[in-house]
A = this chain, B = another copy of it.
Amino acid sequence: MRGRMTRELSMAVALLAIWGFFAWREPAFLSGRNLSLLSIELAITAILALGMFLVLLPGQIDLAAGSGVGLAGAVAAVLVYFHGMPAPVALALATAGAVAVWAGMGVLVAVERVPAFIITLGGLLVFRGLHWLVIDNQTVPIVEGGGTNAYALLTTGYLSPLAGWLLVAAACAAYTWSSLRRRARLLRHGFDADDAELAFLKPFVLTQGLALVALVANGFRGIPVALVILAAVAVLVHQLAAHTPFGRYLYATGGNEAAAAVSGVPVRATVIGAYASMGLVVALTGFMQTAYSGASTTTVGSLMELDAVAACVIGGTSLRGGRGTVPGVLFGALIMASLINGMTLMAVSPEAKYVARGLVLGLAVWLDLRIGGSRQGRGTAGVDGGEW
């Protein structure tokens, strides 16, 4: 927990700097419209990053995420457009496929012990090839021209203002209730919890935040469905990682695989589980990314895996496994998404875009190290160093 506060601070500083800069150079950046669109782009980046987070925790990696995104989206698109399947069915099928394939990769990593870097690098190539085969290098729309369907709605759907407000209200109520209840239990059993002030401040802040989101979003077209999906995924992954045995196993496996194994942690099942969940996430992201560009083309998804890893690491997830938090990952994703959105808004030239992205990536992590110091080695030089 050491330096926890400061590390969150450093994140906030980085983010504020970025937002401030864009707002200054291009006021429209803070317009409700742009923020809504940003939230959709964020959702796509962040969901994939959350999946990557689950894979990084046990000390693995998934380089196939990007091309998997392309493939999943393509399969669904083809099923819908050429085989006239109802969108929900197509999505379900594609998802099932992705989960199976990723679980398979998990087996190769956990049971056959082939380094994940290799397996998923192989996956990257294979899936890209399949992706192009599936769409025959054509452009395959996800829906009959101009129409709409469940698939398209993933990124084009918005909640009605009323629905939005109800959702926000429900969320806040749920959070407040559960957090207060948790605190009560802790205190009852004589463990220390947040003091009263903080305990009431937190739900309050959350409520304000969500209200603000709703307000801004409703000012445009309402809360984007994509954002709701992100929220759901984030809550789910957080619960999974922090509060279920499976989550503990992820951390334990990443922290010391041998010790975990002899403590009765089903190491292999854990790793396979992580990859299976990644499959689920990859499929979901694939649908959203494809829906975002309206059709499946050969370029969908390329290099997204790197963005996902970057988001995780910016958010303090260790590439050696065993360390990381969901809020951190969300923060990291937000930084990446804001960057791209803002630069596009300013019509920055591609070269400059690359340079800026690279610098910010390095800077964010470096800043984090400096201020938060959370990755710094204890005691002797390099005790926990040499980390990628």
Contact = CB atoms under 8 A, between A and B. Distances in A.
Given A117-B319, A121-B310, A126 B385 contact: no
Contact of A121 (B108, B261, B353, B361): B361
Interface string A258-270: 1011100001100
Contacts of A385: 110, 113, 257, 267
Given A112-B369, A114-B365, A385-B113, A132 B351 contact: yes
Contact of A113 (B125, B362, B375): B375
A313 B310 CA distance: 23
12 contacts: A61-B388, A108-B362, A108-B366, A115-B313, A118-B362, A122-B358, A125-B355, A253-B382, A253-B386, A257-B386, A258-B380, A258-B383
A268 B122 contact: no
A130 interface: yes
A374 B192 CA distance: 50
Interface in A111-160: 112-119, 121-130, 132-133, 137
Contacts of A361: 118, 121-122, 125
> How many copies of the chain does the oligomer comprise?
2
Given A386-B58, A386-B257, A362 B117 contact: no
Q: Top 9 closest A-B pairs, CB basis?
A: A129-B354, A125-B358, A126-B358, A129-B355, A122-B362, A117-B388, A122-B358, A261-B382, A258-B383
A381 interface: yes
Interface residues of A, number: 72
A257 B377 CA distance: 12
Interface string A76-107: 00000000000000000000000000000000
A377 B121 contact: no
Contacts of A328: none
Contacts of A324: none
Contact of A118 (B112, B118, B365): B365
B359 A122 contact: yes
A282 to B, nearest CB: 16
A376 interface: yes
Interface string A33-71: 000000000000000000000000011110100000000
